[in-house]
């Protein structure tokens, strides 16, 4: 009987062959023993042991050769490992670099290894004239290895290395760098040296930045650097002219919610955030809330149209101040006549708007305001997004105030988000600072009808053609908009100040074309502008006009035949309304 | 057969032992050579890797420098101050449809040189007649007609 017979027959022939060979070898020992040839038995066993060791050696040799030639150990080279605090690059929507990790070098001095102190001192100061001499002297006179200076470029490191100074050594350090300096500083934000984001996109997009570093892919922001540059330039020009306490500029795509430009003035250099004052680092676009004033009339009018309470031709008596609750409402420049809704909007009549709000009713108005997102922080990735200050109870007084933008404080981003819903066909779309794919079109939550949205576009255009926003008209871009001038509460006098104001202009362009046409929202806001007349139409609207003229070519908006909206109205001077 | 394999001798040494020894030496040499070769290759790879990393860092620095130099505010300032450029206005733009109309408009002739009366050879110390100048660009404006 063969041992092969014990094996299941399903085993392959090779397996049976091996078993038979082993069996025969074992029998060879037995046969040699039985034949009385003990030496044969010993030789066989020696052969067997040798063969086993030979095979083992062969396997070990092949394994060692394979490991030596084809192992992954050491692959990637020196210094190629990912730093613990690595973050992905931040780029704008066109791939322009905004923030990046850069390897710098820190130089150390060990006085125990220094041969010639004066030579070391001279050599280091020759390459690094900015090196504090006192610190170097202290290190050279000490007993331990000390950090001397950081942030060396590879060229500076090489120059020092080439000096061949004993006791001088280097250590690599990864730091976050913002090559654009102040440009886009509030949107980009900044990160701590340990790699954690502190503000702006650096904080808001933390997971994406960490994941991007592992994949080696940059994170693209929605901003267009050209738009951002023009926005900051116009904001700085307006700030230089009107010397405000602060200023904000925002440009968004109303169909995608993408922020194309966002600026807060004054700004700061994110490379040295510690050198900036809290006023500079404050992101007024996201983290500050303001009583926007008359830009809110756009919401009240849109709600009035959407609920069917009013039509563009509905008439409102603005001849006398209007009593609502405990409040008596006046117009900034009283028209003392009966106004159509379009004229109420163009003259920025508080009386007309309050009467419209009364007709709408507190419940419906509050409901719409909530659906417009005016009672919540703007839905955006930025952690700074501030919560609005809203009335606790929507009573008659509050309704009157809120209808024309008083008694409710929202951030400029919240306003931009809500304005987008008015102008994009009526859908509430969250804002985003991340670049979206081509053709991205979020569905959003319907707030008002498409018809109301189109009417609002016409009314906002009418306001620029013949209303308080005339200074925002950029020829051929059919700009529409609404001025806003909100009085600020002054704690010193415990009342609203007649001197401290928020002047803004909320614009949209182009207003012509179908509801799906590419359209952009622009907001310019100045906090406490100085000078004579400081209304939104005088302070902010001209900056919007200049800005639209500059950014429209970047956004692919060609000049077109200027449109004059349908509704007849009496011409209004920009000084006349809020 | 196995016995013969063990018993066969060459110059007094068992052949099997000689063969085993030869195999052992060959294998040891092979492994040693392979290790040496691989070590050399690895150090070369490491050297190249270090150079790649250094180059990558240099490229990153240059990218940062380019981004710094291409700051919108800096470019705008340079464009305004050194090239006299400014954002285009509606007066500087014309649509394709309006081109024939713009081309059909008569253009006011621009004086390019002052007429100089022919005179004898000027003296060496006298200033020469003014060279014709290239017409200076003028902002586009509606032209009423050619003055005759």
Spatial separation of the C-alpha atoms in residues A112 and A166, rounded to whole Å = 10
A174 and A260 fall within a common domain: no
pLDDT of amino acid B105: 63
Q: Are strands A315-317 and A338-340 parallel, antiparallel or unpaired?
A: antiparallel
ω into A510 cis (within 30 of 0) = yes
Record: contact A181-B68, CB cut-off 8 A: yes
pLDDT of amino acid A571: 53
Q: Is residue A523 part of a domain?
A: no
According to DSSP, residue A140 is labeled H
pLDDT of amino acid A80: 45
* Residue A133 scores a pLDDT above 80: yes
A297 and A182 fall within a common domain: no
Residue A567 — pLDDT band, cuts 50, 70, 90? low
The set of residues, in sequence order, having a beta carbon less than 8 Å from that of A63 and lying 6+ positions away, is: none
Mean pLDDT lowest among A6-10, A58-62, A508-512: A6-10
Residue B87 — pLDDT band, cuts 50, 70, 90? confident
pLDDT of amino acid B114: 52
Mean pLDDT value across chain A: 88
CA distances from A149 to A255, A343, B58 (A): 50, 66, 20
Residue A320 — pLDDT band, cuts 50, 70, 90? confident
B41-47: long-range contacts (C-beta < 8 A, 24 or more apart)? B42/A74, B45/A74, B45/A75, B45/A77, B46/A74, B46/A77, B46/A78
A300 and A205 fall within a common domain: no
* Residue B120 scores a pLDDT above 90: no
* Residue A302 scores a pLDDT above 80: yes
Catalytic residues of A: 294
Spatial separation of the C-alpha atoms in residues A45 and A79, rounded to whole Å = 54
Tokens standing for residue B122: 């000027």
Spatial separation of the C-alpha atoms in residues A307 and A356, rounded to whole Å = 11
Chain A: closest CA distance from residue B5 (Å): 10
pLDDT of amino acid A536: 92
pLDDT of amino acid B111: 57
The residue behind tokens 């046409």 is A517
Spatial separation of the C-alpha atoms in residues A544 and A553, rounded to whole Å = 15
User: Which residue on chain A is closest to B71 by alpha carbon?
Assistant: A180
Chain B: closest CA distance from residue A465 (Å): 17
Note whether B27 contacts A: Cβ–Cβ < 8 A: yes
Q: Is residue A560 part of a domain?
A: no
Residue percentage of chain A with pLDDT more than 90: 60
Mean pLDDT of A196-212: 95
Domain locations along chain B: 2-86
Interface probe for A, chosen from B4, B37, B61 (most Cβ of A below 10 Å), is B61
Instruction: Give residue A178's domain range.
Output: 90-220
Spatial separation of the C-alpha atoms in residues B119 and B132, rounded to whole Å = 17
pLDDT of amino acid A246: 96
Q: Is residue A282 part of a domain?
A: no
Question: Residue A296 sits in a domain of what CATH number?
Answer: 3.40.710.10
Dihedral sign computed on CA atoms, order A268, A269, A270, A273: negative
* Residue B143 scores a pLDDT above 50: no
CB A238 within 8 A of CB A526: yes
According to DSSP, residue A437 is labeled P
Residue A20 — pLDDT band, cuts 50, 70, 90? confident
pLDDT digits (tens, 9 = 90+) for A387-442: 999 988 888 778 888 998 988 999 999 999 999 999 999 999 999 999 999 989 89
Dihedral sign computed on CA atoms, order A339, A345, A348, A353: positive
For the CA atoms of A527, A529, A535, A540, the dihedral, rounded to the nearest 10 degrees, stands at -70
**CA Rg value for chain B:** 44
A13 and A148 fall within a common domain: no
Q: Which residue has the higher pLDDT, A9 or A312?
A: A312
The set of residues, in sequence order, having a beta carbon less than 8 Å from that of B103 and lying 6+ positions away, is: none
pLDDT of amino acid A285: 97
Number of C-beta neighbours around residue B67 at 10 A: 22
Dihedral sign computed on CA atoms, order A155, A160, A164, A169: negative
A308 and A446 fall within a common domain: yes
B9 vs A contacts (CB less than 8 Å): none
Record: contact B73-A183, CB cut-off 8 A: yes
Chain B: closest CA distance from residue A80 (Å): 6
CB B72 within 8 A of CB A230: yes
A240 and A216 fall within a common domain: no
Q: What ipTM was reported for this prediction?
A: 0.73
A199 and A237 fall within a common domain: no
Mean pLDDT of A317-344: 82
Spatial separation of the C-alpha atoms in residues B75 and A299, rounded to whole Å = 39
Spatial separation of the C-alpha atoms in residues A347 and A459, rounded to whole Å = 12
According to DSSP, residue A248 is labeled E
A115 and A43 fall within a common domain: no
pLDDT digits (tens, 9 = 90+) for A176-194: 999 999 999 999 999 988 8
Interface probe for B, chosen from A65, A474, A509 (most Cβ of B below 10 Å), is A65
pLDDT digits (tens, 9 = 90+) for A464-520: 998 889 999 998 899 999 999 988 888 888 888 878 999 999 999 999 999 999 999
CA distances from A186 to A32, A182, A382, A552 (A): 93, 9, 10, 23
DSSP string, A497-508: EEEEEEEEEEEE
Q: Are strands A246-253 and A327-329 parallel, antiparallel or unpaired?
A: unpaired
* Residue A253 scores a pLDDT above 50: yes
A17 and A48 fall within a common domain: yes
Q: Is residue A575 part of a domain?
A: no
CB A264 within 8 A of CB A282: yes
A186 and A239 fall within a common domain: no
B33 vs A contacts (CB less than 8 Å): none
Burial group, residue A48, by CB count within 10 angstroms (0-12, 13-18, 19+) = middle
SS3 A438: coil
Residues A314-340: b if buried by 16+ CB within 10 A, e if exposed = bebebeeebebeebebebbbbbeeebb
Mean pLDDT of A151-166: 88
pLDDT of amino acid B133: 44
Least CB–CB distance from B38: residue in A47, A69, A97: A69
Q: Is residue A563 part of a domain?
A: no
A296 and A251 fall within a common domain: yes
Spatial separation of the C-alpha atoms in residues A404 and A315, rounded to whole Å = 18
User: Which residue on chain B is closest to A70 by alpha carbon?
Assistant: B38
pLDDT of amino acid A318: 87
pLDDT of amino acid B127: 43
Mean pLDDT lowest among A79-83, A106-110, B5-9: A79-83
pLDDT of amino acid A334: 65
A334 and A473 fall within a common domain: yes
pLDDT of amino acid A113: 92
Spatial separation of the C-alpha atoms in residues A189 and A187, rounded to whole Å = 6
Mean pLDDT of B119-124: 46
Q: Which of A398, A232, A219 is nearest to A300 (CA)?
A: A398
Mean pLDDT of B62-79: 91
| Residues 38 through 57 of chain B touching chain A, CB cutoff 8 Å | 38-39, 42, 45-46, 48-50, 52-54, 57
Residue A527 — pLDDT band, cuts 50, 70, 90? very high
Q: Is residue A274 part of a domain?
A: no
CB A412 within 8 A of CB A302: no
Record: contact A80-B49, CB cut-off 8 A: yes
Q: What is the reported pTM?
A: 0.76
Q: Is residue A559 part of a domain?
A: no
Looking at the structure of chain A, the number of domains it has is: 3
Q: Is residue A162 part of a domain?
A: yes
A100 vs B contacts (CB less than 8 Å): 60, 63-64
Q: Which residue has the higher pLDDT, B68 or A33?
A: B68
Tokens standing for residue A224: 């267009």
Residue B126 — pLDDT band, cuts 50, 70, 90? very low
HSE, CB side, 13 Å, CA atoms: give it for residue B62: 6
Least CB–CB distance from B72: residue in A78, A183, A558: A183
pLDDT of amino acid A491: 85
Mean pLDDT of A289-316: 94
Spatial separation of the C-alpha atoms in residues A125 and A88, rounded to whole Å = 34
């Amino acid at each position: 009987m063969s041992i092969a017979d014990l094996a299941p027959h399903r085993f392959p022939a090779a397996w049976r062959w091996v078993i038979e060979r082993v069996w025969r070898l074992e029998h060879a020992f037995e046969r040699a023993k039985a034949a009385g040839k003990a030496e044969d038995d010993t030789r066989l066993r020696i052969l067997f042991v040798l063969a086993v060791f030979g095979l083992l050696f062969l396997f070990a040799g092949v394994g060692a050769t394979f490991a030596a030639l084809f192992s992954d150990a050491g692959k990637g080279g020196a210094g190629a490992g990912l730093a613990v605090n690595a973050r992905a690059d931040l780029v704008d929507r066109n791939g322009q670099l905004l923030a990046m990790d850069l390897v710098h070098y820190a130089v150390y001095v060990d006085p125990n290894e220094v041969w010639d102190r004066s030579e070391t001192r001279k050599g280091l100061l020759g390459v690094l004239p900015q090196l504090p001499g006192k610190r170097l002297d202290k290190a050279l006179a000490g007993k331990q290895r000390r950090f001397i200076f950081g942030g060396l470029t590879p060229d500076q490191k090489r120059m020092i290395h080439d000096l061949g100074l004993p006791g001088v050594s280097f250590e690599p350090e990864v730091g976050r760098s913002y090559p654009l300096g102040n440009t886009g500083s509030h949107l980009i934000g900044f990160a701590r040296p340990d790699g954690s984001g502190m503000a702006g996109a650096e904080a808001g997009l933390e997971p994406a930045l960490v994941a991007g570093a592992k994949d080696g892919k940059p994170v693209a922001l929605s901003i267009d650097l050209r738009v951002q540059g023009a926005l900051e330039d116009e904001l700085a020009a307006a700030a230089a002219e009107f010397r405000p306490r602060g200023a904000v500029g925002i440009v968004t795509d109303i169909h995608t919610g993408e922020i194309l430009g966002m600026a807060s003035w004054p700004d700061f250099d994110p490379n040295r955030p510690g050198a900036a004052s809290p006023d500079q680092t404050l992101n007024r676009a996201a983290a500050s809330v303001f009583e926007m004033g008359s830009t809110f009339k756009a919401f009240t009018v849109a709600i009035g149209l959407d609920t069917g309470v009013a039509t563009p031709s509905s008439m409102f008596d603005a001849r006398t101040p209007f009593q609502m609750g405990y409040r008596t409402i006046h117009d900034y420049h009283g028209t003392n006549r009966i106004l159509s809704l379009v004229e109420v909007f163009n003259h920025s009549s508080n009386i007309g708007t309050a009467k419209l709000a009364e007709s709408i009713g507190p419940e419906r108005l509050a409901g719409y305001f909530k659906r417009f997102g005016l009672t919540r922080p703007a839905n955006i990735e930025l952690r700074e997004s501030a919560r609005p200050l809203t009335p606790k109870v929507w009573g008659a007084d509050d309704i009157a105030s809120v209808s024309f933008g008083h008694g409710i404080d929202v951030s400029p981003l919240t306003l931009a988000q809500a304005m987008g819903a008015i102008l994009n066909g009526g859908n509430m779309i969250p804002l985003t600072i991340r670049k979206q794919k081509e053709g991205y079109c979020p569905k959003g939550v319907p707030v008002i009808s498409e018809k109301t949205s189109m009417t609002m576009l016409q009314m906002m255009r009418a306001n620029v053609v013949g209303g308080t926003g005339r200074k925002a008209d950029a020829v051929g871009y059919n700009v529409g908009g609404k001025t806003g001038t909100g009085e600020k509460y002054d704690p010193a006098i415990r009342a609203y100040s007649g001197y401290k104001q928020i002047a803004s202009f909320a614009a949209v362009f182009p207003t012509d074309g179908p509801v799906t046409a590419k359209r952009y929202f622009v907001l310019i806001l100045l906090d406490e502008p100085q000078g004579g007349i400081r209304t939104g139409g005088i302070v902010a609207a001209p900056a919007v006009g200049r800005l639209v003229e500059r950014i429209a070519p970047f956004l692919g908006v060609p000049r077109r035949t200027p449109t004059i909206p349908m509704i007849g109205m009496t011409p209004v001077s920009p000084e006349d309304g809020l | 057969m196995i016995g013969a394999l063990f018993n066969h001798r060459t110059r007094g040494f068992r052949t099997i032992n000689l063969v085993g020894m030869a195999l052992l030496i060959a294998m040891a040499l092979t492994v040693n050579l392979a290790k040496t070769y691989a070590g050399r290759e690895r150090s070369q790879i490491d050297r190249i890797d270090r150079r790649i990393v250094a180059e990558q860092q240099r490229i990153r620095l240059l990218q940062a420098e380019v981004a710094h130099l291409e700051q919108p505010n800096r470019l705008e300032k340079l464009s305004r101050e050194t090239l006299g450029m400014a954002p285009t206005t509606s007066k500087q733009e014309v649509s394709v449809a309006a081109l024939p109309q713009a081309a059909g408009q008569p253009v006011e002739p621009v004086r390019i040189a002052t007429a100089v009366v022919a005179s004898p050879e000027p003296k060496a110390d006298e200033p020469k007649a003014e060279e014709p100048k290239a017409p200076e660009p003028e902002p586009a404006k509606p032209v009423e007609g050619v003055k005759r």
